[in-house]
Amino acid sequence: MYKIAVIPGDGIGKEVMEGAIDVLEGTGVEFSFTYENAGDECLKDCGYALPDDTLALAKKSDAVLFGAAGETAADVIVRLRQELDLYANLRPVKSYPGTNAIFQDIDFMIVRENTEGMYIGVESENKDGATAKRLITHKASQKICDYAFKYAITTGRKRVTGVHKANVLKITDGLFKKTFYEVAEKYDTIESNDYYVDATAMYLLTKPQFFDVIVTTNLYGDILSDEGAGIVGGLGLIPSANIGDKGALFEPVHGSAPDIAGQSKANPIAMILSAKMMLEFLGENESAKAIDEAVLKVITQKNILTPDMGGNSTTKDLAKSIKNNL
């Protein structure tokens, strides 16, 4: 039985989490779910965005399912990634038939370094303005690039693209680019190339089929994965995994969406696919495949879809339909 920490969080996080748990219980895999709080509402209620009890639960569980955080995201999800040393953030960008995807043949993975870059949260103010510190290390760059190439091999992908801005940020991104090619030399069966981040943003719109695996630093990966969501039909379809050597956390890419919270309009698919990625991490590949096929079937049938996908069904209805199609 797998011990899973469940942190629904804020806004639509609670709604989509309920749907994902329902689908997981329909797989037949045995779970023990333990719930804890974090986020804006938690800060208001108890004075902490990420209480010690929640962090302790996350550290002793086999995996963590996280819903969404609002204004306290940096204090919750970023801290969880750092505390658990979840250095690799995986964000798949895949088009499903019958959605608002710009192209119907997109399938690539963004592998994002998760522990440093601009998101270390070291900022200061002075009389002239403000400063943010950006940290890029050889160790973290090597680790994330190595992960990306290993991922390419294990999933049968053929190319890894390193993304940076070394022409301007010559030292920090220069280090990342240099490390990328040092790692690439160890994987001669995998094609490697690099692009500037601004060029990558354009190529995601003009030739997304080119990409297999993208590996990049923290901020760039965050921005590019949201662009990726846009080209395949919206944030409601994009899951993510945060992987470390001793643990993992799974969350949808979307935020807490306070404008639709409590209205049962939220698309649970990103959360459900995040749960699917958790099953893959746990080695329950057949159940993960069953969820993926059920999601595809429901999307293709078009009978039960949430408003963001052109339907008028509720969050619960969509999740129930996916569960029924397992």
Catalytic site residue from 44, 133, 158, 198: 198
Indicate if 165 belongs to the active site.
yes
- Does residue 187 have an active-site annotation? no
- Dihedral of the CA atoms 122, 225, 260, 80 (nearest 10)? -40
Catalytic site residue from 226, 292, 297, 316: 226
Select which of 119, 147, 151, 220 is catalytic. Answer: 119
CA torsion through residues 132, 138, 141, 147, sign: negative
- The torsion of the CA quartet 318, 319, 323, 326, rounded to 10 degrees, works out to 70
CATH code of domain 1-106+234-326:
3.40.718.10
pLDDT (tens, 9 = 90+) of the chain, 326 residues, equals 999 999 999 999 999 999 999 999 999 999 999 999 999 999 999 999 999 999 999 999 999 999 999 999 889 998 999 899 999 999 999 998 878 888 889 999 999 999 999 988 899 999 999 999 999 999 999 999 999 999 999 999 999 999 999 999 999 999 999 999 999 999 999 999 999 999 999 999 999 999 999 999 999 999 999 999 899 887 788 899 999 998 999 999 888 989 998 899 999 999 999 999 999 999 999 999 999 999 999 999 888 999 988 899 999 999 999 999 99
**Domain ranges, ordered by start, for the chain:** 1-106+234-326, 115-231
The one catalytic residue in 165, 177, 276, 323 is: 165
- Catalytic status, residue 198: yes
102, two tokens = 């710009």
End-to-end CA distance of the chain: 20
- Superfamily of the domain at 115-231: Response regulator (3.40.50.2300)
Answer for the pair 235, 254: CB distance below 8 angstroms, yes or no: yes
Phi, psi angles (nearest 5°) of residue 310: 90, 5
Catalytic, out of 194, 212, 222, 317? 222
**Would you say the pTM of this structure is higher than 0.95?**
no
